[in-house]
Amino acid sequence: MMKRTPNRRREPLTDTMLLVTITIGIFFAMYFSAMAIWGGGFLRWQRVFDMLNDNAALIIVACGLTIVMIGGGIDISVGGVIALVVMSCVVHLNSGGSILTAALLALGIGLAFGLTQGFLISYLEIQPFIITLAGMFFARGMTTIVSVQPQKVAHEGFKALMKTKIEIPWLGYIAKKGNLIPARAEIGVVVALVIVLIVFVMLRKTKLGRGFYAIGGNANSALMLGVNVKRTRFISYVISGLLSGIAGFVFMMHTGAGNATNAAGAEMNAIASAIIGGTLLSGGVGNVIGTLFGVLTLSTINAIVTSSGLRDPWWQEITVGAMLCFFILLQSVVLSLRGKGGLKQMLPKWLTVRSKE
């Protein structure tokens, strides 16, 4: 008989949790160093909320991409869908639509993309890259058809909604004049965080969520284990589409204007965030909390680059590129060393996987 001690020994982390831990660790290390070096804005909570305010839409689409990537797929249409949603909703609002119908329109567009792409990818088994690439071009093209000219929201109710901020006094700071300036978060941030939470619970607690991991780990095995692979894959794209729709609405609440180039490259930023957050492009590994920290890490990198005086935009891109490379290298080195047991000397015991009792 195998002996079991009553108090269970701490189990080594799974690959998913190991990568998430690394990302969160790196984020805090970066942020605290920024606080120590530049102080100022970094010392205020508002800085964190600004990062969230600016990136709420990105967080939402990155959640969708995390699901798709865990399932072993990819969705690069999300940026295009955001642009289409924003443009359509702005035009709709300016031609007398209500906020409610605009929200429904956003959800409808996202859902339509998700359903179509998901059907083509899962049931007709076409490469997800090709389908969502087509979806991206299609959405961008449609955006221009809706309106060639950039459009600004004129709807008063919506403008009020945009200005609505949630004030959090205890995270505020005392300004020079001595008055308290509370930390401010936009509604979009609340939406994004709620979505992160829902997706987190879904991935962890529901059979559907575990199905994403199973089909991403090994689709053939998942089939043999009784997972409905096609339906699970289909749903992952539907969720991603739906979240793109929501992200489009949140994006509009942040900028208040429709433009054909809105959210340009958002899909790539979302993929980069998910990867930095520990989601593997090969599927089966990932966590949405990691993705949230992936977005914050990207944003912190940009803030640090700007703070170090490199204000030209290309410096941010170069740094992000280098960091992405670094993260992927780190992940594969960690995972492969872990597989060989080569990390055992360097890491605490609970971080290592033991193959034998």
Partner 1 sequence: MQNEIVLSMRGIGKTFPGVRALHNVDFTLRKGEVHALMGENGAGKSTLIKVLTGVYGKDAGTISIGGKEVVIRSPQDAQKAGISTVYQEITLCPNLTVAENMFIGREPGTLVAWSKRYKRAGEILSSLNIPARPRQQLGSCSLAVQQMVAIARAVDMDCKVLILDEPTSSLDDKEVEMLFTLMRDLRSRGVGIIFVTHFLEQVYAVSDRITVLRNGELVGEYEVENLPQVELVAKMMGKELQGLSDLKRDDSEERLTGTPVYAAEHLSSATGIAPFDFAIRKGEVNGFTGLLGSGRSESVRAIFGADRVGGGSVSMEGKRVHIGNPKQAMKHGIGYLPEDRKDDGIIADLSVRENIILALQVMKGFFRPLSLKEQEEFADEYIRALEIKTASSDTPIKSLSGGNQQKVILARWLLTHPKYLILDEPTRGIDVGTKTEIQRLVRKLAEEGMSVTFISSEIEEMLRTCSRLIVMRDRRIVGELRGTELSQDNVMRTIAGGDA
Length of the chain: 357
d(CA 164, CA 119): 38
Among 19, 189, 222, 271, binds partner 1 (CB under 8 A): 222
The residue written with tokens 């429904």 in the block is 104
Cβ nearer to partner 1, comparing 1 with 175: 1
The token duo for 228 is: 């409905």
- List binders of partner 1 among 223-242 (CB under 8 A): 224-227
Q: Taking CB under 8 A as the rule, does residue 14 contact partner 1?
A: yes
Q: Taking CB under 8 A as the rule, does residue 214 contact partner 1?
A: yes
Q: Taking CB under 8 A as the rule, does residue 6 contact partner 1?
A: no
Cβ nearer to partner 1, comparing 12 with 182: 12
Question: To the nearest whole angstrom, how small is the minimum distance from the Cβ of residue 342 to partner 1?
Answer: 14
Can you tell me whether residue 165 is helix, strand or coil? strand
Q: Which stretch binds partner 1 (CB under 8 A): 8-16, 28-36, 252-260, 322-330?
A: 8-16
Q: Taking CB under 8 A as the rule, does residue 340 contact partner 1?
A: no
The token duo for 56 is: 């709420």
d(CA 236, CA 253): 26
For residue 153, what are the contacts with CB-CB under 8 A and spacing of at least 6? 90, 93, 94, 159, 162, 252, 256, 257, 258
* Amino acid at site 186: E
- Give the dihedral of Cα atoms 284, 290, 294, 296; nearest 10 deg: 160
The residue written with tokens 């290592």 in the block is 352
Q: Are 258 and 53 in contact (CB under 8 A)?
A: no
Q: Taking CB under 8 A as the rule, does residue 307 contact partner 1?
A: no
Among 152, 163, 205, 349, binds partner 1 (CB under 8 A): 205
Among 195, 285, 296, 323, binds partner 1 (CB under 8 A): 285
Among 133, 208, 257, 337, binds partner 1 (CB under 8 A): 208
Binding residues vs partner 1 (CB under 8 A): 1-2, 4, 11-12, 14-16, 204-211, 213-214, 216-218, 220-222, 224-227, 284-285, 339, 353-357
